[in-house]
Chain A
Amino acid sequence: MEKRGAIWVRSLVVPLVVMLMSCSQGPPVGGESGSLHESLPAELGGWRALDEDSVYDTESIYSYIDGHAEVYMAYGMVRCVSRRYSGPEGEPDIVLDLFEQASAADAFGVFTHDRDGEEVDIGQGGLFRHGWLSFWKGHWFGSVYAEGESEASKEAVLALGLAAADTMTEVGEVPALVAELPEDGLDPRSVRFLHTQEILNGVVYLGYENALQFGPEVDAVVGRYQRPEGGGWLLLVDYPDDASAEVAEGGAIEAGIAVRRQGSRLAAVLAPEPQAAGDGLLADAIGGE
């Protein structure tokens, strides 16, 4: 979103949060999440926290968010702290979920899984659409979701997100690999950071065979390009060592994927249109012709 929108969010929300956070505390949650949790507002703009908070681990998360837990698990989820807020009469409940991920890069990765929406100035990157705010900061991914849409609930969602983000002291780094994507023709909002083929399949479907040898130790970034000569998805993958990259290179060639390797880094072009469009992208990414 344009800067004007970002400024609007903070100017609208900050006074409300400061006023309310000073007079409200929630019940404690153990472990590292405790201090973060205790700083969250128990009431905000007429929305009041319900009951005890819930903390989900890598097993119980599957029952909490049926069908989506795999996304967080693919980025090394540690735990999820969840709180429900009940709204004023006629307003929807709001659900706040804070996912502690393995690293800041992973929190960023989760954030990139869905990049629809308007940019908002919350955390290290925030997006708002249809009653749902997502943001990341440090090794946390935050989700604030209104179970219905209204102007009041939108304000409350943004205020809660801002309050939550402000309790997170760590600032993370966007994975360095992201900056390695050539700028020419790149749609910045299409960029995803990932480790697994299952997540990549949600962007460009490659099938079941793990030809590119994805895994927890593998970092990858993918972005969509449109240039005068054509378009496609450019994938950059960093492997733990040259040998692993070489194996992946062989697998990709066998699968008919256009790739180029330099040491432990592999570049691949997926779904090029026309086919020749991939050559320029590979050359920009790795070098050569």
Chain B
Amino acid sequence: MGNNKLNRRDFFTMGSGAAALGLLRGHAGADDGEKPSTSRVVLIRDRDVLDSEGKADPNGLHRMLNKGVAELVGEKDAAAAWRQLFSPSDVVGIKSNEWSRLPTPAALEEAMRFELERVGVAPTDIAVDDRNVKANPVFQRATAFINTRPLRTHDWSGLGTCIKNLITFTERYPDYHGDACAPLGSIWLRPELKGKVRLNVLVMLTPQFHSTGPHSFSQEFVWPYGGLILGVDPVAVDATGARIIEAKRKLHFGDDRPMRPPPHHIQIAETQYGIGIADPDRIELVRLGWKDDALI
């Protein structure tokens, strides 16, 4: 890890407000000065958050979200942490994922909405959407976004990631499908998005580590991991998730089933588009909660 590690003390030192947010946003489509040499990512897990059918307990999920956000920002108090990320004057789009087999849990969307309202954001200035974001009036005037989705394997991009989740802001998805979706990082540089995604939450409650069939899903290839990965830097968040999926595939299949195609859009998002850090050695991974079988 580099000497310029972005750690909790940095956040305290910077205090709340524009300075801290500016540095945080530096990862998410940098539009300001010097980029940090490391990225902080929080992996929080709870053994009891899922019931026997894999459904998340709303209260437990909300607690995980708040602990993760607090740790990410370096606050003890969750409400204060959310206030570091958002202000009452913000208009916030929560970019979700409605894929029917493995959607973003509604309970997580509601927890985010609750915390934004607690910050003071007007309920009319908050919206949750996925495929209709371009036509959604709140998203059209958004000053900030939360980006959240479950992690899953994907036939065209290798992995369905936080980086990929913004594809619904584009006019024509196939334009981003070439070379295993290598250009996905460019979406984050669009004017309506650049520097506005303040929080990425990769849902790792029941991640999907292999796709099968036209509907790309089988219960055989998800498992109860009970986690969330949080970060401001989408590349670092996705790179961390990818390591877990790779480890799970190795555990399940052995050595002969690497992800195909490789999810190299994550690395390319760093090297070509500069929207974050993919190198594990430059990611400060903070682990909270359940430690068993973390695979990372």
- Which residue on A lies nearest to B152, using beta carbons? A67
Given contacts A205-B261, A208-B179, contact A70 B213 (CB under 8 A): no
A201 touches B213 (CB 8 A): no
Q: How far is the CB of B84 from chain A (nearest CB, A)?
A: 35
A237 to B179, CA, bound (A): 21
A134 to B214, CA, bound (A): 10
B262 touches A70 (CB 8 A): no
Number of interface residues of B (CB under 8 A): 25
A62 touches B173 (CB 8 A): yes
Instruction: List B contacts of A68 (CB < 8 A).
Output: 155, 211, 213-216
Residue B177 is within 8 A (CB to CB) of chain A in the complex: yes
A203 touches B260 (CB 8 A): yes
Residue A164 is within 8 A (CB to CB) of chain B in the complex: no
Q: Is the interface of B mostly helix, strand, loop or mixed?
A: loop
Residue A130 is within 8 A (CB to CB) of chain B in the complex: yes
Given contacts A67-B154, A67-B156, A201-B261, contact A95 B219 (CB under 8 A): no
Q: B211, B213, B216: which has the most chain A beta carbons within 10 Å?
A: B213
A134 to B178, CA, bound (A): 27
Instruction: List A contacts of B126 (CB < 8 A).
Output: none
Instruction: List A contacts of B262 (CB < 8 A).
Output: 205
B156 touches A130 (CB 8 A): no
Select which of A66, A71, A114, A116 is within 8 A of B99 by beta carbon. Answer: A66
Q: Which of A200-238 contact B (CB under 8 A)?
A: 201-203, 205, 207-208
Q: How far is the CB of B292 from chain A (nearest CB, A)?
A: 25
B261 touches A208 (CB 8 A): no
Given contacts A68-B155, A205-B262, contact A114 B212 (CB under 8 A): yes
Chain B residues near A (Cβ < 8 Å): 99, 154-156, 160, 173-174, 177-180, 182, 211-216, 218-221, 260-262
What are 13 A-to-B residue pairs whose CB atoms are below 8 Å?
A: A65-B215, A67-B211, A68-B155, A68-B211, A68-B214, A70-B156, A97-B214, A132-B213, A143-B214, A198-B177, A201-B180, A202-B261, A208-B178
Among all A-B residue pairs, the 9 with the closest Cβ atoms: A208-B179, A130-B220, A130-B218, A132-B213, A202-B260, A201-B261, A65-B214, A143-B214, A68-B216
